[in-house]
């Protein structure tokens, strides 16, 4: 069985060329998952509910071929593959932020069929946190999930795990994090100075 050729728009346009690379279903969500750091295949599969193993393998292969991510082997006898964004893939972060900005008001009420992961709120929460901490490192706990931001003015990056020597730390339950991201709850008063 030969390789299926990828569809493209055949438009001499920068937007269509970008969509030729990352416009397929699941592609930008894989980039979202890798935007906070390297992940194993099993982690990606667990945090992309609804994706099939075949689709995930296909998207990872295509994104690697397009220079968006790399795969490296780690662990004993290099038995585990870890995926991480290249510089080109990391350059998609502003695209994810713009989509998050645009999409947050469209979230509406959570449906009973909606999957949710705490770290999916890292992008919209980052803007809220940055309004309180213009420069520094901030750890956010949402239930059992832990990630941190490095904030330098307008540049906000998020990473898996707690920050080393954070300037602030926030502890939220998932429902609180959703309300903060939606702007229906203030973040003030929920932080602990570290």
Give the model confidence (pLDDT) of 165-192 as tens digits: 999 999 999 999 999 999 999 996 555 5
Give the model confidence (pLDDT) of 32-49 as tens digits: 999 999 999 999 999 999
What pLDDT, on a 0 to 100 scale, did the predictor assign at position 2?
Answer: 46
Which of 130, 194, 129 is CA-nearest to residue 164?
194
Can you tell me the distance from the alpha carbon of 38 to that of 44, in angstroms, rounded to the nearest whole number? 10
Instruction: Name residues of the chain where pLDDT drops below 50.
Output: 1-2
pTM for the complete prediction?
0.89
Share of the chain above pLDDT 70, in %: 94
* Contact between residue 105 and residue 50 where contact means Cβ atoms under 8 Å apart: no
Q: Residue 29 belongs to what H/E stretch?
A: helix 27-34
Give the model confidence (pLDDT) of 22-34 as tens digits: 999 999 999 999 9
What pLDDT, on a 0 to 100 scale, did the predictor assign at position 102?
Answer: 95
Average pLDDT, the chain: 91
For 179, residues 6+ apart whose C-beta sits below 8 A from its C-beta are 185
Which of 136, 138, 137 is CA-nearest to residue 172?
138
Sheet of 69-74: strand order equals 39-40, 80-85, 69-74
Share of the chain above pLDDT 90, in %: 82
Can you tell me the distance from the alpha carbon of 130 to that of 96, in angstroms, rounded to the nearest whole number? 17
User: What is the DSSP secondary structure assignment for residue 111, as one 8-state letter?
Assistant: P
Question: For the domain 94-193, what is the CATH code?
Answer: 3.30.1050
Q: Where in the chain is the domain with CATH 1.10.10.10?
A: 14-91
What pLDDT, on a 0 to 100 scale, did the predictor assign at position 28?
Answer: 97
Q: Where in the chain is the domain with CATH 3.30.1050?
A: 94-193
Can you tell me the distance from the alpha carbon of 34 to that of 119, in angstroms, rounded to the nearest whole number? 11
Question: For the domain 14-91, what is the CATH code?
Answer: 1.10.10.10
* Contact between residue 187 and residue 171 where contact means Cβ atoms under 8 Å apart: no
What pLDDT, on a 0 to 100 scale, did the predictor assign at position 76?
Answer: 82
For residue 95 the two structure tokens come to 């695209």
């Amino acid at each position: 069985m030969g390789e299926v050729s990828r569809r493209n728009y055949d438009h001499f346009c920068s937007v269509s060329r970008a969509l030729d690379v990352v416009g397929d279903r699941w592609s930008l969500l894989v980039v979202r998952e890798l935007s906070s750091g390297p992940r194993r295949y099993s982690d990606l599969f667990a945090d992309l509910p609804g994706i099939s193993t075949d689709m995930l393998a296909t998207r990872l292969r295509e994104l690697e071929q397009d220079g968006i991510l790399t795969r490296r082997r780690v662990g004993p006898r290099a038995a585990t593959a870890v995926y991480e964004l290249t510089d080109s893939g990391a350059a998609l972060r502003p695209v994810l932020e713009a989509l998050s900005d645009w999409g947050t008001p469209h979230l509406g009420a959570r449906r009973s069929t909606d999957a949710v992961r705490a770290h999916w709120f890292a992008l919209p929460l980052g803007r809220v946190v940055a309004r309180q901490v213009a420069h520094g490192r901030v750890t956010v706990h949402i239930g059992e999930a832990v990630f941190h931001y490095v904030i330098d003015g307008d540049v906000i990056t998020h990473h898996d795990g707690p920050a080393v020597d954070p300037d602030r730390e926030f502890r939220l339950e998932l429902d609180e994090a959703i309300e903060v991201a939606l702007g229906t709850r203030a973040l003030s008063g929920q932080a602990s100075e570290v």
